[in-house]
Chain A
C-alpha cells in the first residue's frame, strides 16, 4: 500500500515521524483525511482528534491549534501541543477543564484573560472527549470478543 510521510511537531519535541497510510486532521472547517498523493494544502487546525492509519492499525492523538502542511510527499503537523491518546491522563484533563472554567468566571472582565481561559477549556475538553471515545471504543471491542 502506498504511504505518505507524517511528522507531528510540537515546540517540545518531534512526536511522530513515520510512514502512514492515511491521516485524518481536525481542521478549522472540519475533519479532512489525507491520503498519499494528496494535493498540496496548508490548513489551520483546531483542537481535536488526529487519527492515523499505519500498518493496518489506527492510532489516535490529541492535537491543539496549529497548522497542517501537505506538500505532496510529506505531511507536517505543527501544533502547540500533541499527545498520544494512550498517554492522556483523564484526571488531569478533568482538573484542567475545571480550573479553566473557574478562571473563565473570574476573568470575565479582562478580554485577554478570558480568551486565554476559553482556549484552555477548549483544549482540555478536546482531550477529555478523545479519551472517553477511545475508552468506549475499547469496551465495544471487548464485548464483541
Chain B
C-alpha cells in the first residue's frame, strides 16, 4: 500500500486540478448562455434570409453570380473551429467532418484545387498537420462576435467568388443542436442553388421548418428599386448572414461543449478524491494500529 505521504500528495494535485476544471466550467457556463442566446436569436433571421435567397434563386437565376453554377476549378473551404481545446469531442468531430467534406469535394471535382481558410487556431493546426496549404488564418470569433467582426472572412469568400478566384465556397462549422449535442455541418455557401438549399434543410432538420415553411412555387419578384440594387446590397448581405450564423453556432457549440467536458472532469476528480481519501484514511489507521501494537509490545517487554 502506498504511504500516507504519497497519497496526500496525489490528493493535493487532484484537488488543484479540480479547482481549475470547476473554474473553467463556471466560465464556460456563463459564456455559453450568451453565445447560445445569440445563436438562437439570429436563427429566425438567418433562416429567413436563406429562404428568401432560395426563392429568389428559383426564378432569378441569372440575376446574380452567386446563383450560377459554373465549372469548378477552385474551391474555397472555410473551416470554423474554436481557438482552444478542452472542449470534449467538438474539435475532433469538426476535423472528421472536414476530412469527409474534402474527400467528397475531391471525388466530385477531381481537377479542382481546394483552397483552405481557417477561422480558429485549432482548425488551422489541423489543416497544417494534414499537409494542407492554409491560405488565411483568422481568429475564432468566440466572444460575442458582431456582424462586422467576420468581415475579413466574408470578404474573402464573397469577393473571391465574385471575381472568379473561387468557383465554389464550402463552410464547415458546428451546428448547435442542444447543450449536449453539437453537430458538425458542411454547407455550400456559394453558388447558391436549390440543391444546396435542400441539402441544408436536411442537415438542419426541424429547427428550420419551425421557422420557415419552404414553398414549391416559383415566384417572379418585382425587384425594387432595381435589380442592380438587390444584387449589390441585398444578396451579399443575406449571404454574409449565413456566415455570421455559422460563426455564432460554432461559438455556442464551443462553450456548451466545454461546459459539459469540464463538468465531467470535475465529476471524475470528485470520484477520484473520494477513493483516495478513503485509501488515505485506511493507511493512516493502519499505521496508528501498527504504532499502538508496537508500543504495547514494547511495554510488555519492559514489564
Contacts and interface: CB of A to CB of B under 8 A. Distances in A.
Contacts of A12: 41-42
Q: Could you say which interface size class chain A belongs to? A: 20 to 34
Nearest to B230: A42
B188 interface: no
B263 interface: no
Interface string A33-51: 0000001111110000000
Interface string B82-107: 00000000000000000000000000
Contact of A44 (B147, B215, B229): B229
Interface stretch (A55-63, A65-73, A88-96, A98-106): A65-73
A9 B47 CA distance: 11
Contacts of A13: 41, 44
Contact of B233 (A41, A44, A72): A44
Interface residues of B, number: 26
Contacts, number: 68
Contacts of B45: 9-11, 78
A77 to B, nearest CB: 10
B9 interface: no
B292 interface: no
A43 B52 contact: no
Nearest to A73: B215
A9 B147 CA distance: 16
B219 interface: yes
Contacts of B49: 78
B243 to A, nearest CB: 13
Per DSSP, chain B at the interface is helix
B222 A42 contact: yes
B234 A9 contact: no
Nearest to B60: A42
A27 interface: yes
A105 to B, nearest CB: 21
The 7 residue pairs across chains A and B that have the minimum distance between CB atoms:
A43-B224, A29-B225, A42-B221, A41-B222, A40-B219, A40-B221, A11-B45
29 contacts: A7-B48, A11-B41, A11-B147, A13-B41, A13-B44, A14-B44, A27-B224, A28-B224, A28-B225, A29-B224, A32-B224, A39-B222, A40-B220, A40-B222, A41-B222, A42-B52, A42-B56, A42-B222, A42-B224, A42-B234, A44-B224, A69-B221, A71-B55, A71-B217, A71-B219, A76-B51, A76-B52, A78-B45, A78-B49
